[in-house]
Structure 1
């Protein structure tokens, strides 16, 4: 069974493998040993905090493990509140109207304005599933369990959540949007800029990024064409988030112009449809639907998918699922149909 659990220091090698395999443009998983080890340590601190009354600097990082082999097959994370100690940048798409009544001229022009509007919101991030395991809805589990985690531990997270989608780049990691910025404002390629941001070196953004609104029409046509568009490999993840209620509101990444989608946590479909019931252990009937199921502990968190019978006052799961999810009869579980 594939089970999601908190990351541990022993998972460093597996996390490094995920960072290498995730490729260009995956800012939250840079191939950097010191950064990855810091993320693991920071996650351990977050999971160890038993009583959290409001979102802060906590970064929750999870791995998906094959319990039969012990192999880590993917990872995903949640930032409780972004931008509290380091600026969190986006470009906001807007409009400026140039109008002269006397000349009968009216131009409505799109602009990009550097902003920090998402400061303090929660972020779903660092979702990566290794290629051989992209089947049996494993990717859905690795993404959606985070919404159940947020539903169960509401005080740990903001009222709103975002997810940054990887923007368009080629097989070498070259971004058409960044190419334009590099040409006029920077002297580094996309991969270097993306890497520096991933390891927390963001001062150059404030120092070199254009501070005034950019007219979209002034960008190269290739750069204009990718604003708000996602990388081909990211389309399934975007569709899944849209099905959960996430929407694009005109905010894009400052490097590749990929879209950021947002939602009010209470309106996430998996949050609204999730239930919390005590567990009974037995054999679900053959028609039992598969569910994403999680225990309700933080430090000893476990989540996964399994067939389950939903009754008015309890959830029936198999002994194997109960063992993998560290649930005993009578324990509370949160779950949602897969």
Structure 2
């Protein structure tokens, strides 16, 4: 059985193994570094957040996907409650400047990149990685969409604006044409090194070295211009999942690889508007259908979610087997939160 729950310190070795697998996927997954101390600190932040001991700037939730049949962690995903409150959160805002002269009969619009802290205080979806061997049976969507269901259940803990940074384009050798054309000239380090330092929280150098004036896109190389707001091919499936839940690109890109930032108001998320609370009824057998549902117990500290294909009919009751109820730690008449994995056509 596959289940999503909060990460715990007993998961550290498995999460570290996933970080190593992520490293095999190439540059750009820096929110899951191959560093046990940093990963342990991520778990500690989750624990402190759940205990109410974390300040908003440090609050974070790290989820794990567990294959309970072999007690193995096979995926992770996370939510940062509010970014940029301890250290500045940077990206580029893609904007337009007009250069005009009536005397010369010249009127020209130019795309520009402005160093921005506009997403300060936003909640952020991050750290999504699934073991390649488990990229089947909708596990990826399950692991990603759990975060929306958690936000729907505990909206008061999150900000009204939600963002997700998408990995930008880099070639098979890990070279970013955007970085080569812009960032390298200010940092004098390769893309991998700069991206890693940012991912592990050493971002002060960004403020010290990045240009404070607008960057004219036309001055960049043709290759760099072509990848602004473009995603790495491996990231497209994850981005489509987020966009199906209500996020979209609104003109911000990463300062390293120019990958797009997706964003939405939490009030506009599908999970917020379409998830339902149903009462549990435990039965010996359930009728199954082709539609899959996320089912969460809505227990803040002991949060867990299943992906099931039980027949969910109109009304206020969800039929579940004893095994499913036990996995969710719920009993007869307890409430669970239910959301179709895919948006229903009639919604």
TM-score range, shorter chain: over 0.9
**What is the DSSP-based 3-state SS (H/G/I as helix, E as strand, rest coil) of the residue aligned with 2:69?**
coil
Q: Deviations over 1:58-93 (max 9, x none)?
A: 110010000110011100000111111111001000
**What is the DSSP-based 3-state SS (H/G/I as helix, E as strand, rest coil) of the residue aligned with 1:257?**
coil
**What is the DSSP-based 3-state SS (H/G/I as helix, E as strand, rest coil) of the residue aligned with 1:155?**
helix
Instruction: Tell whether the 8 Å contact from 1:73 to 1:129 is kept in structure 2 after alignment.
Output: yes
Instruction: Tell whether the 8 Å contact from 1:251 to 1:259 is kept in structure 2 after alignment.
Output: yes
Distance 1:213 1:313 in 2: 55
Distance 1:182 1:97 in 2: 25
**What is the DSSP-based 3-state SS (H/G/I as helix, E as strand, rest coil) of the residue aligned with 1:289?**
strand
**1:222 Cα offset (Å):** 1.1
Of residues 323, 326, 334 in structure 1, which corresponds to 2:326? 323
Of residues 290, 298, 301 in structure 1, which corresponds to 2:300? 298
Change (3 A) 1:180 1:288: closer
Q: Deviations over 1:191-217 (max 9, x none)?
A: 111111111111110011111110000
Distance 2:116 2:324 in 1: 46
What residue ranges of structure 2 are gaps of 5+ in the alignment? 342-347
**1:56 Cα offset (Å):** 4.6
Report the RMSD for the aligned CA atoms in angstroms: 1.6
Change (3 A) 1:228 1:278: same
Instruction: Tell whether the 8 Å contact from 1:58 to 1:79 is kept in structure 2 after alignment.
Output: yes
Q: Deviations over 1:197-252 (max 9, x none)?
A: 11111111001111111000011111111110000000011111111111101100
Aligned to 1:258: 259
Distance 1:265 1:277 in 2: 22
Aligned to 1:30: 33
Aligned to 2:280: 279
TM norm structure 1: 0.96
Distance 2:112 2:279 in 1: 52
Instruction: Tell whether the 8 Å contact from 2:183 to 2:256 is kept in structure 1 after alignment.
Output: no
Instruction: Tell whether the 8 Å contact from 2:163 to 2:262 is kept in structure 1 after alignment.
Output: yes
**1:35 Cα offset (Å):** 1.1
**Aligned pairs (5 A) from 1:166-177:** 166-177=167-178
What residue ranges of structure 1 are gaps of 5+ in the alignment? none
Distance 1:22 1:174 in 2: 17
Aligned to 1:239: 240
Distance 1:246 1:289 in 2: 23
Distance 1:210 1:33 in 2: 33
**1:171 Cα offset (Å):** 2.5
Distance 2:16 2:254 in 1: 24
Instruction: Tell whether the 8 Å contact from 1:32 to 1:199 is kept in structure 2 after alignment.
Output: no
Aligned to 2:344: none
Q: Is it true that 1:307 corresponds to 2:309 in the alignment?
A: yes
Distance 2:60 2:289 in 1: 38
Instruction: Tell whether the 8 Å contact from 2:277 to 2:316 is kept in structure 1 after alignment.
Output: no
Q: Deviations over 1:105-159 (max 9, x none)?
A: 1110000000100011110110111111111111111011110100100111001
Distance 1:288 1:177 in 2: 44
Aligned to 1:98: 99
Q: How many residue pairs are counted as aligned between the two chains? A: 336
